[in-house]
């Protein structure tokens, strides 16, 4: 398989998966039922959820400035905001293309070399991943008894223990092999792991590291609060437990990586998580679609405005660079 064929598969497979999951979710709950839930929803909470999502994106834009300053680049906040929204919008078309576009926008309008801009985006993702792992760890700690009881009902506890012990053993064996191996794959894995560690540690070397850490926690706090607040828009979800919110949020977050922007996979991921807590299928999937649609609409509006307004916002600077030197 050549490079072009691989690129085509990277684009088409998530889209096809998204289309299939949309069909599958609508086969479980009809469009008319989802529309009925949307019509009866309390839009005060939906609008508040969108506002919280907007705050997280603005905070992400401001956080990016902290990462570029140590390299000697002071970018405009407006350019940072528009680049972030453009990223989200472009990722709905081609997976991960938004990150490339984001670094390119900075190169075109702020003169930041592409590789440096892209490097800061990778470091951002490392910080986000660490917070996500923290949320998972907290959820496992708070809901350990419930999760264990649920798994014990579905599976034999002895088999669960053996499976966990086997996973730990295989994990340690894999790490040992990767550490000793001299193959190209092992070198790539080691370099990737070293890059993650280096990127994570670099956060603490920043001049404004505490501001960076605050914004990172604020971003994910807004994501989680956005998810929780929007659940109040569906009457059937009133009084939902903290455990359901946390597991639903984690499940939904991972679904975004499965398809372009979580299309199709987002509502099903929420339903899968909520079903563990005995929450009915219809309100779970309807909430997933309302949550996904409201955030997607925000990205489409602000991302579209950003792509249109970016050259206008930077017109003066562009004209100055085109003028011949005296």
d(CA 33, CA 283): 9
Angle between helices 43-68 and 281-313 (to 10 degrees): 50
The three-state secondary structure class of 19 is helix
- Residue 132: count of CB within 10 angstroms of its CB: 16
pLDDT band for position 258 (cuts 50, 70, 90):
confident
Percent of the chain whose predicted confidence (pLDDT) is above 90: 33
* Percent of the residues in the chain that have a pLDDT greater than 70, as a whole number: 83
Which tens digits make up the pLDDT trace of 31-71? 888 889 999 999 999 999 999 999 999 999 999 988 888 77
Would you give the end-to-end CA distance of the chain in angstroms? 53
Note the pLDDT of residue 122.
83
Q: Where are the domains of the chain?
A: 28-315
pLDDT at 84: 93
* pTM higher than 0.85: no
Contacts 24+ apart (CB under 8 A), 246-249: 246/135, 246/138, 246/139, 246/142, 246/143, 247/139, 247/143, 247/273, 247/276, 247/277, 248/273, 248/274, 249/135, 249/223, 249/224
What number is the average pLDDT over the span 266-282?
90
Q: Let me know: does 307 contact 109? Beta carbons within 8 Å.
A: no
Sign, CA dihedral 298-301-304-310, equals negative
Instruction: Place 326 in a pLDDT band, splitting at 50, 70 and 90.
Output: very low
Residue 274 has a pLDDT of 92
Q: With a cut of 60, say whether residue 7 has pLDDT above it.
A: no
**Two structure tokens written together for 163:** 């499976």
- Name the residue among 113, 90, 101, 80 with its Cα closest to residue 313: 80
Calpha distance 100→98 (Å, rounded): 5
Question: How many other CB atoms sit within 10 Å of the CB of residue 95?
Answer: 19
Looking up tokens 């997933």 gives 288
Which residue would you say has higher pLDDT here, 103 or 227?
A: 227
pLDDT-based confidence at residue 178 (cuts at 50, 70, 90): confident
Provide DSSP, 136-186: HHHHHHHTHHHHHHHHHHHS-HHHHHHHHHHHHHHHHHHHHHHHH--SHHH
pLDDT, mean over the chain: 83
């Amino acid at each position: 398989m050549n490079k072009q064929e691989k690129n085509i598969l990277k684009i088409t497979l998530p889209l096809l998966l998204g289309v299939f999951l949309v069909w599958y979710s609508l086969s479980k709950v009809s469009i008319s039922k989802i529309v009925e839930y949307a019509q009866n929803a309390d839009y005060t909470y939906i609008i508040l959820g969108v506002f919280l999502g907007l705050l997280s994106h603005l905070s992400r834009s401001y956080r990016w400035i902290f990462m570029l300053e140590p390299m000697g680049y002071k970018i405009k906040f407006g350019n940072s905001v528009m680049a972030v929204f453009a990223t989200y919008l472009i990722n709905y078309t081609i997976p991960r293309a938004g990150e490339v576009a984001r670094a390119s926008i900075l190169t075109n309008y702020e003169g930041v070399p592409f590789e440096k801009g892209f490097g800061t985006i990778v470091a951002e993702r490392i910080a986000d991943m660490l917070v996500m792992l923290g949320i998972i760890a907290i959820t496992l700690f708070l809901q350990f008894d419930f999760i264990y009881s649920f798994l014990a009902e579905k599976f034999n506890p002895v088999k669960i223990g053996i499976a966990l012990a086997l996973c730990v053993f295989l994990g340690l064996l894999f790490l040992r092999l990767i550490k000793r191996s001299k193959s190209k794959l092992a070198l790539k894995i080691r370099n990737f792991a070293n890059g993650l560690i280096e990127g994570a540690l670099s956060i603490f070397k920043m001049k404004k590291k505490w501001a960076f850490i605050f914004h990172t926690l604020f971003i994910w706090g807004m994501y989680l609060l956005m998810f929780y607040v929007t659940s109040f828009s569906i009457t059937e979800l009133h009084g939902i437990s903290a455990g359901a919110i946390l597991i639903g949020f984690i499940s939904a977050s991972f679904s975004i990586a499965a398809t372009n922007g979580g299309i199709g996979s987002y509502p099903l991921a929420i339903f899968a998580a909520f079903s563990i807590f005995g929450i009915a299928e219809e309100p779970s999937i309807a909430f997933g679609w309302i949550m996904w649609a409201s955030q997607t609409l925000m990205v489409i509006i602000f991302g579209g405005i950003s792509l249109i307004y970016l050259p206008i916002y930077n017109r003066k600077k562009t004209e100055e660079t085109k003028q011949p030197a005296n």
